[in-house]
C-alpha cells in the first residue's frame, strides 16, 4: 500500500473509533513512544499518552459522544511523519482538524490531534457525496 494511502487508512480508523465509540481502538491508534498531544475544542492542551487516551475514553463513554465524519482529508508527508488536514462534520457543524501521524514500525500512529471552529463551508455536492449511510 502506498504510504499516503496508509496514512489515510490510519486517519479513517481514527474517525471510525469515534463513530463506534471504541475506546480500545482509539487507544491502539495513539503512538506508544515519544510525545503525543491533543487539543479538543474548548479544552486545555493535553500532553502525554495517558492524559490524551484518557480524554478519549471519557468522551467516547458518553451516549452523547459526537458522530464525526471526516471530509476532504489532505495528506502532507514529511519522511516518517505525516499530517492530515481535514474537516470534521458534526451533524452539519464544521470544524477544521489537524491529525499528525508518525511511522512506528509498519504502522502510522497518531501523535497529535487538534480540532477547532472554521468559517469554511463545504460545497453541497461534497456533503451529499460523502453523507453517512443511516443505520
Phi first, then psi: what are they for 71, rounded to 5°? -125, 140
Q: Which sequence spans correspond to the domains of the chain?
A: 3-129
pLDDT of residue 30: 97
Strands 107-117 and 37-39: parallel
Question: Which residues share a beta bridge with 99?
Answer: 84, 113
The tens digit of pLDDT for each residue in 117-128 reads 888 887 765 544
Q: CB neighbours of 100 closer than 8 A, spacing ≥ 6?
A: 81, 82, 83, 84, 110, 111, 112, 113
Overall fold of domain 3-129: Nuclear Transport Factor 2; Chain: A, (3.10.450)
pLDDT of residue 124: 66
pLDDT of residue 122: 78
Residues of the chain with pLDDT under 50: 127-135
Output the pTM of the full model: 0.85
Amino acid at each position: 500500500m502506498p504510504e499516503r494511502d496508509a496514512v489515510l487508512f490510519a486517519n479513517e480508523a481514527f474517525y471510525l473509533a469515534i463513530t463506534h465509540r471504541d475506546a480500545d481502538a482509539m487507544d491502539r491508534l495513539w503512538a506508544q513512544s515519544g510525545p503525543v498531544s491533543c487539543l479538543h475544542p474548548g479544552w486545555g492542551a493535553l500532553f502525554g499518552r495517558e492524559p490524551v487516551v484518557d480524554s478519549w475514553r471519557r468522551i467516547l463513554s458518553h451516549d452523547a459522544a459526537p458522530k464525526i465524519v471526516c471530509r476532504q482529508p489532505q495528506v502532507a508527508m514529511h519522511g516518517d511523519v505525516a499530517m492530515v488536514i481535514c474537516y470534521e462534520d458534526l451533524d452539519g457543524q464544521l470544524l477544521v482538524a489537524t491529525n499528525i501521524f508518525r511511522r512506528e514500525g509498519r504502522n502510522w500512529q497518531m501523535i497529535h490531534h487538534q480540532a477547532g471552529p472554521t468559517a469554511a463551508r463545504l460545497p453541497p455536492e461534497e456533503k451529499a457525496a460523502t453523507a453517512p449511510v443511516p443505520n
